[in-house]
A and B are shown apart, each in its own frame.
Chain A
Amino acid sequence: MTTCNCGSKVVSEKEVALQELLDHYRDYEGGLIPVLQEAQQIYGYLPTDVLEKISQELRIPFSKVFGVCTFYAQFHLKPRGRNIIRMCLGTACHVRGGSKIFKALGEQLGVGDGGTTGDLRYTLEKVACIGACGLAPCLMVNDDTHGRLKVSDVTEILAQYE
Chain B
Amino acid sequence: MNNLNEIREESLRKYNARLDKTRIVVGLGTCGIAAGGQKVMDALKKEAAERELDVDFDITSCIGMCYAEPVVEISLPGAASVVYGGIYPDKVAQLLESHVIGKTPVKELAVIQIPGNATPYDGIDVMEKAAYYEKQVRSVTSRLGRTNPENIADYIATGGYAGLEKALSMEPQAIIDEIKKSGLRGRGGGGFPTGMKWQFVHNAVGEKKYIVCNADEGDPGAFMDRSVLEGDPHAVMEGMMIAAFAIGADEGVIYCRAEYPLAIKRLNLAIEVAEKMGIMGKNIMGSGFNFKMRIKAGAGAFVCGEETALLNSIEGKRGMPRVRPPFPANAGLWAKPTCLNNVETFANVPFIIRKGGDWYASMGTEKSKGSKVFCLTGKINNTGLAEVPMGITLREIVFNIAGGIQDGKAFKAVQSGGPSGGCLPTSQLDLPIDYDSLIGAGAMMGSGGLVVMDETTCMVDVARFFLNFTQLESCGKCTPCREGTKRLLEILTRICNGEGVIEDIATLERLGKVIKSSALCGLGQTAPNPVLTTLRYFRDEYEAHIIDKRCPAGCCTALASFSILSDKCIGCTACVKACPAAAISGEGKKAHAIDRNKCIKCGACINKCKFNAIVKA
Complex contact B600–A74 (CB within 8 A): no
Asked if B130 is at the interface (CB within 8 A of a chain A CB), the reply is no
For the complex, count residues of A whose C-beta is within 8 A of B. Answer: 26
| Contact with B314, one of A30, A90, A92, A133 (Cβ below 8 angstroms) | A30
Which A residues between 33 and 67 are near B, CB-CB below 8 angstroms?
33-34, 36-37, 60, 64, 67
A74 / chain B contacts, CB cutoff of 8 Å: 258, 299-300
For the complex formed, measure the closest distance between the CB of A4 and the CB atoms of chain B, giving whole angstroms: 36
Asked if B16 is at the interface (CB within 8 A of a chain A CB), the reply is no
Complex Cα gap A50–B494 (Å): 44
Question: DSSP majority for the B interface?
Answer: loop
| Contact with A92, one of B258, B313, B315, B581 (Cβ below 8 angstroms) | B581
Asked if A106 is at the interface (CB within 8 A of a chain B CB), the reply is no
Complex contact A29–B334 (CB within 8 A): yes
Complex Cα gap A86–B315 (Å): 36
Complex contact B316–A68 (CB within 8 A): yes
Asked if B589 is at the interface (CB within 8 A of a chain A CB), the reply is no
**Given the interface contacts A74-B300, A91-B600, A91-B602, does A134 sit within 8 Å of B607 by beta carbon?**
yes
Complex Cα gap A136–B600 (Å): 12
Cross-chain pair count, CB within 8 angstroms: 69
Name A25's closest neighbour in chain B (CB-CB).
B316
Complex contact B300–A72 (CB within 8 A): yes
**Given the interface contacts A91-B600, A133-B580, does A37 sit within 8 Å of B297 by beta carbon?**
yes
Asked if B601 is at the interface (CB within 8 A of a chain A CB), the reply is yes
Complex contact A92–B602 (CB within 8 A): yes
A91 / chain B contacts, CB cutoff of 8 Å: 600-602
Mask: chain B, 589-605; 1 = CB below 8 Å from A; 0 = not? 00000000000111110
B318 / chain A contacts, CB cutoff of 8 Å: 67-68, 71
Complex contact B316–A72 (CB within 8 A): no
Asked if A96 is at the interface (CB within 8 A of a chain B CB), the reply is yes
Complex Cα gap A67–B319 (Å): 10
A75 / chain B contacts, CB cutoff of 8 Å: 299
Jot down 29 A-B pairs with beta carbons below 8 A, ordered by A. A29-B316, A29-B334, A31-B316, A32-B317, A33-B313, A33-B316, A37-B258, A37-B297, A37-B299, A64-B317, A67-B318, A68-B318, A71-B301, A71-B320, A71-B475, A72-B299, A72-B301, A73-B301, A74-B258, A91-B602, A92-B580, A92-B581, A92-B600, A92-B602, A95-B580, A96-B580, A133-B603, A134-B578, A136-B602
Give 20 new A-B contacts, CB below 8 A, not counting A73-B300, A92-B581.
A29-B334, A31-B316, A32-B317, A33-B313, A68-B316, A68-B318, A71-B318, A71-B320, A72-B299, A72-B319, A74-B299, A74-B300, A90-B602, A92-B604, A93-B580, A95-B580, A133-B604, A134-B578, A134-B607, A136-B604
Q: Which residues of A contact B (CB under 8 A)?
A: 29-34, 36-37, 60, 64, 67-68, 71-75, 90-93, 95-96, 133-134, 136
